[in-house]
Amino acid sequence: MRFFRHALNILKNPLPFHHRNFETHGDTFRLKIGFTSEVFFSRNAAFAEYVLQKNQKNYTKSKIQTEDLSKYVGKGLLTSEGEHWRKQRKLIQPAFHKKQLEQLLGTVQSAISSEYEKIKPEAVINIFPILNDLAFQTVVKSLFSSAANVEQISRLQFITEAAQNMLVRELRQPYLGWWFKASGILEKHLKLTQEARTILKSMVNERRASKDKQGDLLDMLLEAKYEDGNFMDEEQLIDEILILFTAGHETTSNALTFTFQLLALHPKWQERIYGEFQEIEDKTDLMALVSKSKICQQVLEEAMRLYPPAYFIDRVNIDPDAFEGMTFAANSNLLFSVYEIHRHPGLWEHPNAFHPERFAEGSRKFSSHYFPFGAGPRKCIGNNFAMFEMIIAVIEIIQTYKIHPEFETIAITPLITLKPKNGFLRFEKRSEC
């Protein structure tokens, strides 16, 4: 009954409700939702590691991704399972190796610098829309180089974000499913995704016809071969591109916004990043630049600990399972709170404080309880790309501006990803610039 009494507040932000339950019932608890459904919530990092890595073959993603999301973006890496997923992962993985990504860093930096021209010094601005555009432009230009025109990019971004917003409505208001169908709203959004597929197919066909090599992600995907020597068919290629749009831009823009807010509240870390940047001799070698920007990486790692964009991980077990005395019937719904694991007082010193120095030796020492990009075989394939992009994005800001907060405390909106709510900042030009 308590769930129903607080349903409206839980709908807006379920994290405080979950936290109270964790504090009351322990690191794993079962929550009845409605009269028949139940979910196991957990902030037990060892349990998460068991499910995501040690016994991952017994677990699949829930229907939220394999069905609800897939109707908008198809069966790509994020939404597929089993042999189809393994086949695609093996095919696409080489495109995200560091040596391949090095070729894209100039494109990434150019896209970032272009978006930062929207910043008006000394004006109070909400940085999230700028960073959201930045992240989308970075993905598009890394995929297509200069092949996509402004109208196509704008339309693709609109459709991607419209589909995400519609999915949020479906998940948050399942009782309106009948109305979404009857009113035509669902059909309208599904038609939009077909429009996006048509745009992408035209761009792919133009690239194939031109036979020009751009050295971008599209070239890599077009040239990738399965073990039998065949290439990806057109529909699968479009699925994978849509997944890159969906997974590759919102999480990055969220993480960057939270990072800038934290830097605004902790200006000494701005100066440490700036000092580190000044000491790097060859600033034109972008791979060396991101590799040597250790302080910047620490700040980003800590920002994603406090505000992980993918703040929950869901799994369903195929066969019955047990862990630390708990038993789970087949098809149990498990929801791991990355947000709670990253702030667990038994795992972190000063868990709610911003202490980037904890990552001075890198994040590997925390691999058993630090999951900003997931864990195990399903760990985000674009984690290196995202880190390189975010390091460049932070450095490009810090070398030009000092960031000041125009908010009291960081506020969040937990949707499919953990979104910032009040990214209001003021950017002061550095006197050195």
Q: Quote the CA–CA distance of 65 and 138 in Å, as a whole number.
A: 24
SS3 329: coil
Average pLDDT for 22-32: 91
Helices within 266-293 (DSSP H only): 267-279, 286-292
| pLDDT of residue 1 exceeding 50 | no
Q: Quote the CA–CA distance of 364 and 418 in Å, as a whole number.
A: 23
Average pLDDT for 154-167: 90
Confidence of residue 5 (pLDDT cuts 50, 70, 90): very low
Is residue 365 within 8 Å of 359, Cβ to Cβ? no
- How far from chain centre, in Å, is Cα 159? 18
| pLDDT of residue 145 exceeding 90 | no
The class that CATH gives domain 43-429 is mainly alpha
| pLDDT of residue 9 exceeding 70 | no
Q: pLDDT tens digits, residue range 341-391? A: 999 999 999 999 999 999 999 999 999 999 999 999 999 999 999 999 999
Helices within 173-293 (DSSP H only): 177-182, 185-210, 217-223, 234-265, 267-279, 286-292
Is residue 265 within 8 Å of 413, Cβ to Cβ? no
SS3 289: helix
At a CB cut-off of 8 Å and minimum separation 6, what does 15 contact?
A: 311, 337, 339, 412, 414
Q: pLDDT tens digits, residue range 282-299? A: 889 999 999 999 999 999
SS3 418: strand
Q: Which residue has the tokens 């030796």?
A: 361
**Which two structure tokens, joined as six digits, stand for 361?**
């030796």
* Paired strand residues for 403: 427
Lowest mean pLDDT among 145-149, 185-189, 407-411, 426-430: 145-149
- The per-residue pLDDT for 4 is 45
Q: Quote the CA–CA distance of 323 and 42 in Å, as a whole number.
A: 12
Strands 321-323 and 401-405: unpaired
Mean pLDDT, the chain, integer:
92
- The per-residue pLDDT for 159 is 92
Q: pLDDT tens digits, residue range 61-110? A: 998 888 888 999 999 999 999 999 999 999 999 999 988 899 999 999 99
Q: Quote the CA–CA distance of 172 and 163 in Å, as a whole number.
A: 14
Cα–Cα distance list, 49 to 19, 147, 372, 429 (Å):
20, 41, 13, 45
The domain spans of the chain are: 43-429
Buried b (16+ CB within 10 A) or exposed e, 61-75: bbebbbebbbebbbb
Is residue 310 within 8 Å of 338, Cβ to Cβ? yes
407, with CB counted inside 10 A (0-12, 13-18, 19+), is middle
